Amino acid sequence: MSGAPISAGPLRHRSFRWFFAAQTVNVLGTTMVSVALAFAVLEVDDSPTALGVVLAANSVPMIVFLLLGGVLADRVDRGLLLRGCNLAAFATSATVAGLVLTGTAEVWSMAVLGALNGTVAAASLPAMAGILPQLVPREELQRANVLVSMSRGGLAVVGPSLSAALVVTVGPGWALAVDAVTWLLAAVLLLAVRLPPREQEQADGVMADLRVGWTFVRGTTWLWVVVLAFSLMNAVRTGGWSTLGPVRALETVGERGWGLALSATAAGLLVATLVMLRLELRRPLLVGMLGVSLGGVPLLVLGLGDGGRTTLVLLVVTAFVAGAGTELFNLGWNLSLQEHVPADKLSRVYSYDMLGSFAAIPVGQLAFGPLGAGVGVGAVVVAAGVAYLVLALLTLLSADVRRLERAAAP
């Protein structure tokens, strides 16, 4: 890292300003909808199974169509694609809100609309990930990524609370309506985004485009090593922290302690973004993988802790550090892809990365519950912490990961 401040704020670029505004509005809606949708479904059917069906109906199409979304985002104007996706998301979200407000919503209709929204997300996520290098010069990419992360982290705190307040005061239907409006507003803001033309690679079709993307991933050692590691790490983290974490917390630090740990993680993310506005990463993957490996430490504290005050303090501190380390990885990973992957392949590469990350999450959710019941929750959480830490550090055995440096500005 360099201690010199990064010059030339990306907000001075008109298209980035409008994109940043649209992305901020988008994130606000996304962070609100998780709370609003959950209560809307439970208002229709109070079965946990019903909520699971609606959530799965959204996530499965997103995973299935991610690679096609990457191909599409590399073929067409990404700004135009994002505007279209936002309008489509507005239509589906507004329909769900209307059904809930009129009392005509059913689980099947919400699942169908959720599936449509998940399909839209499969196209918009790779486009969103690949657009930043078209909006700012290479030397400003780090600060642009940090600003985007900062808005996302801040709204991750505000959005759920705002949504919960709306659910309590006026009902989940109106909270979903606000979410729908954010998609429409984001589409309008994106009208001001103008992207420079980019060279298009000639291909024979969708399968040929997918092969080109896969060939690049397979032939780039640092890329496939990290993606492979995270396909395992995300399953471990989701199972150990998200699935068994609350159960173990009830045995040790309690609900309040668990809430403090989650808040500390979010605080660590935000503090890291502020720090990275002033420091420049030179070895993005070395720093990133060392940082993200710290995510295993809170699992160790939670699994080994006896529930005393020391356990709570250690859990909060290590969760804060882990949050900061996660943000270091996010920044380092985005910079590595944005600077070292050709622009015409960037969205496809991101889609392969996302597929590896998202596909593993249900594995952890489904497998760790029975493991905890059979072996013991504390023991499995400790094993998850060790596995996460080891998997992250193993990537550094690759010289390509350790030595990757920032690309020079063209």
> Cα angle vertex 355, ends 232, 127, to 5°?
140
Letter for the amino acid at 52?
G
Going by C-alpha positions, the residue among 253, 311, 48 that lies closest to residue 245 is 253
Residue type, 280: E
Q: What is residue 400's predicted lDDT score, i.e. its pLDDT?
A: 96
**Structural element, H or E, at residue 197:** none
Q: Are 267 and 345 in contact (CB under 8 A)?
A: no
Query: Is residue 7 very low, low, confident or very high in pLDDT (cuts 50, 70, 90)?
Result: very low
CB-count burial class (<10 Å; 0-12, 13-18, 19+) for 5:
exposed
Q: Which of 171, 25, 15, 13 is nearest to 89 (CA)?
A: 25
Task: Burial-class residue 282 by CB neighbours within 10 Å (0-12, 13-18, 19+).
Answer: exposed
- Tens-digit pLDDT profile for residues 95-119: 999 999 999 989 899 999 999 999 9
Q: Tell me, what's the pLDDT at 200?
A: 57
The predicted model scores a pTM of 0.82
Phi, psi of 409 (to 5 degrees): -65, 140
Alpha carbon distance 387, 16 (integer Å): 39
Q: What is the pLDDT of residue 6?
A: 46
Number of H helices, E strands in the chain: 16, 0
